[in-house]
Amino acid sequence: MTDQPNDKISRRQTLAALIAASMVSAAARPASAAGPDFGAFNAAFGAKIVLPAFDKLVTVTDAFAKTADAFATRPDAAGLDAVKQGFHGVADAWASAQQFRIGALAQGQRSERFAYWPERRNVVDKQYRALLAGKSKEGLALDQIAHASVAVQGLPALERILYGEDKGAELLQGDSAERRRAIVSALAANLHTIAVEAQATWADNLKDPTKAANSFAASPAEGTAQSYTNLLTITQIVAEQKLGVPLGGADAANAKPKAAEQWRSGRSVRNITLNLETAKGSVLASGGYADLLPADHAGLRGDLEKAFDEPIAAAKAVGDNFADDITHQDKRKAVTGLLVKVNQLRDLLRQQVPPAVGITLGFNELDGDGS
């Protein structure tokens, strides 16, 4: 017997609802109590936590694009300083938004286009050289950049131009100065466009009560589980990619300082701090995951405060010389201490919070098929 197409669609919809129901932990709540209202939570989380992060990204990328354009037409040392300042503003706003991958950033490779990292050396360098080799504004129209390799659409290429070996001097003098300024303008415009698209996607989603409740997933429960997975992912990225890979294990001789994120602009630890502060807000600020905690879990809220505050304090204590520090056996102790604190936070977020707030997490998507 062959099923009719409409029947198939309806069966899939029923299937999606059944599967979504499975993502709510049955053990998390007493049978007599009503389940958590994930739809209301997702709407509040989107409005209070996510949307402000993208609002900020729109504002700073807009300012950066204007600064870059002004510098392109009137290049001077003050203008270069302003562009560098603008780069840091954008990188700050990105570090405070990148966690929220579900939905807008996952679509159209927006996340990778904004900040492709970790970098595959031969890809970024090859694409960057090709970008520099063009003349004047060749290949730099907005839609051309938007379809270029993700490796050169955003922050990595900007960082190379502004904080490469010349520290940005070749933006003011030399044969490629005009081209470099044009690239900065084009990339700034591209980042602004991505930010506007991402903000608009979230804003539109929040306007529709059903979409806001589902939060880009098939159901409210799945939406909460997926956005919580985003939180686990950013803490995993901080621990494994931003700290673990540069540290290179127990021995300072194996450190890889150039594997640190944005080491050229000295932002490695600042990004970690901002990632952790954003993660903390997504849990403990109004609208955050802790709002889902039942009243009898007040102790867990306190544990979470402490578990976030300790690595944030440890990150601030590391200072700005991260890439250099990790190559010295003594100085790197502060960094390894930070890694320990982040891993303690990850344990708490992964093991204790999901059952307490009533969600079950994926088992396979988070950790691959072996270490």
Partner 1 sequence: MALDRFLNRRARALDLPGVTPAHLLACGDNAGGKVAFAAMAVSDSGRQLWRRDLDWRAHDVIADAARNASAIIGRKPGPAALICDLETGAQRQSLAPLPNCTFDGHAVFSSDGARLYTTQSEGKAQIGHVAVYDVMTGAVSATWTSQGIEPHELLWADAATLVVGNGGILDRNATDPIESSLVWLDAATGTLKGKVALDEDNETLSLRHLVRLTDGRIVCGVQDQDFATDLRPLALIADMSGSVAFLDLPQDIHRRMMGYVGSIAADPSGSYICATSPRGGLAVVWTAEGEYVDAIDLPDTCGVAGGPEPYGFLLSSGHGARLPIHVDSVEGIVARPEALRLDPLQWDNHLSLVRG
Tell me: does residue 244 bind partner 1 (CB under 8 A).
Answer: yes
Size of interface with partner 1, in residues (CB under 8 A):
51
Minimum distance, C-beta of residue 15 to partner 1, in the bound complex (Å): 5
Q: For partner 1, what does the binding mask look like between residues 183 and 222, x meaning CB under 8 A? A: -----------------------------------x---x
- Whichever of 59 and 241 has its CB closer to partner 1, that residue is 241
Would you count residue 22 as binding partner 1 (CB under 8 A)? yes
Choose which of 76, 85, 109, 138 interacts with partner 1 (CB under 8 A). 109
Among 37, 81, 118, 167, binds partner 1 (CB under 8 A): 118
- Helix pair 121-133, 155-163: axis angle to 10 deg: 70
Residue 103's contacts (CB-CB under 8 Å, 6 or more residues apart) are: 201, 202, 205, 215, 216
CB of 151 to partner 1, least distance (A): 6
Within 13 Å of residue 146, how many CA atoms lie on the same side as its CB? 13
* 97 in contact with partner 1 (CB under 8 A): no
User: Are residues 235 and 279 in contact, defined by beta-carbon separation less than 8 angstroms?
Assistant: yes
Q: Is residue 333 a contact residue for partner 1 (CB under 8 A)?
A: no
Q: Is 362 in the site for partner 1 (CB under 8 A)?
A: yes
Cα–Cα distance measured from residue 177 to residue 194, given in angstroms and rounded to the nearest whole number = 26
Task: Give the C-alpha separation, 39 to 281, whole Å.
Answer: 20
- Whole-angstrom CA distances from 38 to 115, 280, 291 are 31, 20, 11
Reduced to 3 states (helix: H, G, I; strand: E, B; else coil), residue 104 is helix
CB of 295 to partner 1, least distance (A): 19
- Interacting span for partner 1 (CB under 8 A) from 58-66, 112-120, 177-185, 262-270: 112-120
Which of 299, 300, 285, 294 is closest to 231 using CA atoms?
A: 285
| Both structure tokens of 330 | 């003594």
Give the binding range for partner 1 (CB under 8 A) out of 36-44, 91-99, 120-128, 193-201.
Answer: 120-128
Residue 30 in contact with partner 1, rule: CB under 8 A? no
Give the three-class secondary structure for 155.
helix
Contact call for residues 128 and 157 (beta carbons, < 8 A): yes
Q: Which residues bind partner 1 (CB under 8 A)?
A: 2-3, 5, 8, 11-12, 14-16, 18-19, 21-23, 25-27, 109, 112, 116, 118-123, 149-151, 218, 222, 225-226, 240-241, 244-245, 259, 351-352, 355, 360-365, 368-371
